């Protein structure tokens, strides 16, 4: 797997193919970098442990522009000798078996030599602000209820401004009642967000 990430750091879920096959592990490499969002994507990078050691990690649920949500939802797997350890988040049912102390045992290190774990996605993702780079701490900055986590902003719908623009154009052919049923106002809000993201990307290019 690290060899795959050396060639292609970012992989996307093939959602349509997964839906047809009933599987959830069909992935394809992203060949054009950097990207401006990591929705439905996994990124493989080397991360730095607290003791300075660099190891391979897989990161997902990175919400560009949404630091607080990323802190709550970031999913991290770390590699040692070809084996991967899935680090549980504080609210995961399996946290007692795959928490920070368990990761330290997997790596054969004291926990204070593991955490905080630093990562930097800037070579592969547009943007310079967290959560494009950041740290994974032993204890979360805040613990939220399920309802509070779900209420956090998720980022815009869709994959791009063009995709959402096409959806809005189609919805505008429907009756007002049908538009409301499909949530056209929220989709229009998503379009504004995507256009802001793409304008920021163009400035960085």
Q: What SS3 state is found at 148? A: helix
Element (H, E) at 184: helix 184-204
Per-residue pLDDT of the chain (205 residues; tens, 9 = 90+): 688 899 999 999 886 654 555 555 688 999 988 887 888 899 999 999 999 999 999 999 998 878 899 999 999 999 999 999 999 999 999 999 999 999 999 999 999 999 999 999 999 998 788 899 999 999 999 999 999 998 887 766 666 777 778 778 878 888 888 778 777 887 788 788 778 877 876 776 5
Alpha-carbon distance of 143 to 121, in angstroms, equals 25
Q: What are phi and psi of 87, to 5 degrees?
A: -75, 120
Residues in a beta bridge with 28: 12
Please report, for the chain, the start and end positions of each structural domain, with discontinuous segments joined by +.
Answer: 2-151, 161-204
Give the C-alpha separation, 169 to 202, whole Å.
24
Question: Burial, 75: exposed, middle or buried (Cβ in 10 Å; 0-12, 13-18, 19+)?
Answer: middle
Cα four-point dihedral sign 156, 126, 131, 121: positive
Residue 204 has a pLDDT of 60
Helix (H) or strand (E) holding 54: strand 54-60
* Length in residues, the chain: 205
């Amino acid at each position: 797997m690290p060899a795959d990430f050396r060639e292609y750091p970012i992989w996307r879920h093939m959602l349509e193919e997964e839906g047809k096959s009933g599987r959830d592990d069909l992935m394809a490499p992203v060949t054009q970098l950097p990207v401006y969002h990591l929705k439905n994507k996994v990124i493989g990078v080397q991360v730095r442990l607290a003791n300075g050691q660099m190891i391979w990690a897989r990161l997902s649920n990175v919400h560009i522009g949404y630091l607080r949500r990323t802190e709550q939802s970031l999913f991290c797997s770390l590699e040692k000798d070809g084996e991967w350890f899935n680090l549980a988040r504080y609210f995961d049912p399996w946290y007692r078996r795959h928490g920070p102390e368990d990761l330290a045992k997997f790596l054969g290190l004291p926990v204070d030599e593991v955490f905080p774990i630093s990562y930097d996605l800037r070579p592969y993702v547009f943007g310079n602000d967290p959560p494009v780079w950041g740290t994974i701490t032993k204890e979360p900055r805040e613990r939220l209820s399920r309802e509070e986590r779900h209420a956090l902003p998720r980022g815009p719908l869709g994959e791009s401004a063009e995709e959402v623009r096409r959806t809005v154009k189609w919805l505008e052919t429907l009756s007002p009642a049908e538009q409301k049923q499909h949530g056209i106002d929220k989709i229009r809000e998503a379009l504004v967000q995507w256009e802001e993201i793409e304008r920021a990307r163009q400035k960085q290019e």
